[in-house]
Chain A
Amino acid sequence: MTAKPIASPIPVAMYPTLSVFTLAIGLVITAFFFIYEATSSRKNRSLGMELTTAAVASVFLGFGSLFLLLASGVYV
C-alpha cells in the first residue's frame, strides 16, 4: 500500500500570477459594468446585460481575491 502525496489542485508558485490576472480582468469588467450604468438612460437599460456583466465580474473578482489571500500567506 503506497501512499501518494497530495498537493494543491493549482501549483502554489502560480498563485501571485493568477491573482494579478484574474483581478485585472475582473476590474476591467467591473469598469464596463459601471460605464454601462452611467451612460445608459433609463429607457435603454437592459437588465439582462447588467446581470451578465455583474455575474462575470463577480466570478473573476471572487477568484482573484481568493488567490490574493493565498498568495499573501492566509491559507484559507
Chain B
Amino acid sequence: MKNSSVVDLLLLLLLAITVLTTPAFSDLVLSKVERRIDVTSQIARVTKTLKVVNSGSESVSEFTLTFPKFLGNNLAYLTVSHSEGKGKAKRSLANLSVEEANPKGMPDSVSFYTVALPKPLSKGDTLTLEVVAAFTNVLQPFPEKISQRDIHLVMLQESAQYLSPYAVESQSLSVKLPHNARIESYTKLENTKVQGSEIKYGPYKNLAQYSYAPIVVHFESKAAFAVAEKLVREIEVSHWGNVQVTEHYNLVHRGAQLKGEFSRLEYQDRPNPQGVSAFRHLLARLPPRAHSIYYRDDIGNISTSQMKSDSKKTEVLIEPRFPLFGGWKTFFTIGYGLPLSDFLFASEGKRFLDISFGSPMLDLVTEKLIVQVVLPEGSKDISVTTPFAVKQSHEIKYSHLDIAGRPVVVLEKNNVVPDHNQNIQVYYKFSNINLLSEPLMLITGFFVLFITCIIYTRADFSISKSSAAYLAKLQWDEVLATVQEVQNIIQKCLAAHDKLEASLRDLSRTGDIQTCKAARKSTDSSLKDLSKELRPLLASLQSFPSASQISPKVEELVAKERELQEKLMAKHTTVVEGYEKKSSGRDIENRIASQQQKIIALRQEVEDLLEFIDEI
C-alpha cells in the first residue's frame, strides 16, 4: 500500500540523517518548542514558538531554521519574528531577515534558512522566536482519483519531533484539522491524543539533534482546493481620479481528480446531493469604495455574483459558470475601479501608489502571479518596494490619448498564498502639467477640423475657370456685395431721418430754433454725400445681367427713400417757419398732418422693401 512505502522512505531518511550526523552546529539549545499545524484550508500553515537558550560560551548572532526537503520545496511564505514577555504580555517585535542557506556538509534532504538575530545572544540568555510558514501542495489527495460520490481525503506527512540541528529539551506538536472532519487514520506514537478536531503529539523531552519521527495523518477536507494557474493583475493609475484593477484568472481544482462521469442529476438531488469534493463559490474581498465591478469571461458577462459593501471592505461572491471538480479548469476576468485618493500619496517630492499585491480572493493559491502597474504618461524615476522578493521588469503600454506610451512595471512571483497579500509601494515622479497634454491633443484635433472648413470655403475647387456657370457664380457674388452696400447706405439715410425727427422734437421741447436749423444743415449735407455714394453702385448694378430681378426693386427702394427725404424736408421747413412766426402748436400740427401721414406710410414701404431684399 502506498502509505507504508512512504513511511519506509521516511525511515530511510531518518537513518540517512543519523548516519551523516555532523558535530554541533552551534551551542544553542532549544528549551521549548511548540508547533501548531493548521490544515483547515488547502494551505498547511505551521506556527512555531521556539525558546532559544545560549548554553555555550560564545555569543551567537544567527539561528538556523530547518524543514525537511519535501516541505521546504513547497515553502511559499516564511516570516520569523521575536517576541518578549509571557502570556498576555507577549509582544511580537519586528520581522527578522531570513535567508536560504546551503551550509556545507549538511544532509541534502533538509532545507536550511538562516535567521539574523536582532542582537547577538550572549551566554546564558534566552530569546523567543515565532516562525510562521505556509506550504502549498503538501496536502496530497489520497486516493488521487475519486468519483462524484466520494468524499475528499487528503494526507499530511510531517515529523512529530522537530527536526533541527540543535538539541531540543521539550517540544509538542498539535495538528488542527477541519471542523468535524472525518479522520481516516493517523500515526499513533507515544503521547498521542485526539481532542475534538485536533491531534496532539507530545510533549517529548530531551531529544538529540536531527531527531525525526515521521507521522502521517489521513483525513477528510472540505476546503476548496482552488488554485490559479496564472493570474494577471493589471493596475492602471489615472491622475484624473481612478485606479482601475483588472484581474484575469485561470482557475483549476487541484484536489483529487474526478474519475468517471459527472451527473447533474445527482449533483442537484435533494436531500442527498452528490459532489462534496467540488466547490461552487469564491469570495473576493475588495477595498472599500470599489465601484464599477464587472465579472465576465470570453463568452460575456457572468451574472451569478453578489456584492455586499460596507465602510471597511467590499465583498464579492462569485460563482463560475459550472461547479469545479478535481482537475476541472475555468477562466474569467474581474475588474473594478477604486478612488485615487485612497491609494496614491505624496511624500518628499515623489508620489507613491500603496496597493495590495496578491489576489483579493480568500484562500486562493496562485502558481504564477503577474502584477502590471501602469503609470500615466510622463512618470519618471520609477521604483518599487515590496515586503518580499519579486522579479521586476519594465514595459510600455499604448492606451487612450498616448504619445509615447505609458510605463509599466511588471512584478512576477511564483507560488503566492493569501499571506502574501500585503501592500507594495510604487514610487515615481510626476508633475500635473503633463495632465494637460490630453485635453491639448483633443483641442488640436478639433482645431484641425475647423481649419479644414476654413480652407474649404476659401479654396477654389472649380476645374474650368471660363465655364459659364463659374462666371455666373462670380457675378452673383458681386451682385450680392453691391446690394449689401446699397442696403447699408439706405440704413444710414434712415438714421439721418431719425436725427431730423429728433431735432424737431427737441424744438417742440426747448423752442431753440437755431439748433434745429443747424441740425437741418448737417443732415442735408450728409444726405447729399450718401446719395453721391449711391449713384455709382446703382450704375454697376444696372450693368449686371443676372441682377435683372433685383435691380428694379433696388431702384424702387431708392426712389421711395428720396420721396421720403423730400417730404421730411418739407415738413421740417414748415415746422421751423411756424415756430418763427410764433403760431400756436395746434396750427403747426394741422399743417403738417397730411404730410405726416404720407411720411409714415413711405417709411413703412421702405422698411418692407429692405426686408424683401434681405431675404434674397
Interface of A with B (CB < 8 Å)?
A: 1-10, 12, 33-34, 37, 41-45, 47, 50-51, 54-55, 57-59, 61-63, 65-66, 69-70, 73-76
Contact = CB atoms under 8 A, between A and B. Distances in A.
25 contacts: A3-B352, A4-B346, A5-B344, A6-B341, A6-B351, A7-B340, A8-B241, A8-B340, A9-B435, A12-B241, A33-B453, A37-B457, A41-B484, A44-B484, A50-B454, A51-B454, A57-B450, A58-B449, A61-B446, A62-B440, A62-B445, A63-B442, A66-B438, A66-B442, A75-B238
A8 B432 CA distance: 10
Contact of A54 (B240, B400, B451): B451
B447 A55 contact: yes
Interface string B403-424: 0000000000000000000000
B481 A75 contact: no
Main secondary structure of the interface of B (DSSP, over half): helix
Nearest to A70: B240
B241 A7 contact: yes
Nearest to B478: A43
A36 B432 CA distance: 38
Contact of B438 (A1, A2, A4, A76): A76
A6 B345 contact: yes
B59 interface: no
Interface of B: 236, 238-242, 244, 292, 337, 339-342, 344-348, 351-352, 354, 399-401, 432, 435, 438-440, 442-447, 449-451, 453-454, 457-458, 477, 480-481, 484
Nearest to A65: B442
B376 to A, nearest CB: 9
A44 B240 CA distance: 45
B450 A76 contact: no
Contact of A44 (B340, B341, B345, B481): B481
Contact of A41 (B244, B450, B454, B481): B481
A63 B447 CA distance: 12
B240 A8 contact: yes
Contacts, number: 109
A42 B446 contact: no
A41 B480 CA distance: 8
A36 to B, nearest CB: 10
Contacts of A6: 239, 340-341, 344-346, 351
Contacts of B340: 6-8
Most B CB contacts (10 A, CB to CB) among A5, A10, A33 go to A5
For the complex of A and B, the 6 pairs showing the least CB-CB separation, nearest first, are A62-B443, A54-B450, A8-B241, A3-B345, A58-B446, A75-B238
B241 A41 contact: no
A58 B450 contact: yes
Contacts of B432: 9
Given A12-B241, A50-B454, A54-B450, A5 B341 contact: yes
Nearest to A63: B439
Contacts of A75: 236, 238, 240-242, 244, 337
Contacts of A50: 454
Given A8-B241, A55-B447, A1 B292 contact: no
Contacts of A58: 443-444, 446-447, 449-450
Contacts of B238: 75-76
Given A6-B344, A50-B454, A51-B454, 15 more contacts: A3-B346, A6-B351, A7-B341, A8-B239, A10-B240, A12-B242, A12-B339, A41-B480, A44-B481, A57-B450, A58-B446, A58-B449, A62-B444, A70-B240, A75-B241
Contacts of A45: 457-458
A48 B44 CA distance: 77
Contact of A2 (B347, B453, B481): B347
Contacts of A2: 347
A21 to B, nearest CB: 15
Nearest to A12: B241
Contacts of B439: 62-63, 66
A70 B458 CA distance: 37
A64 to B, nearest CB: 9
Contacts of B477: 41-43
B346 A63 contact: no
A34 B507 CA distance: 48
A50 B347 CA distance: 48
Nearest to B242: A75
A5 B341 CA distance: 5
Contacts of A55: 447
Nearest to B345: A3
Contacts of B236: 75
Most B CB contacts (10 A, CB to CB) among A9, A62, A70 go to A62
Contacts of B450: 33, 54, 57-58
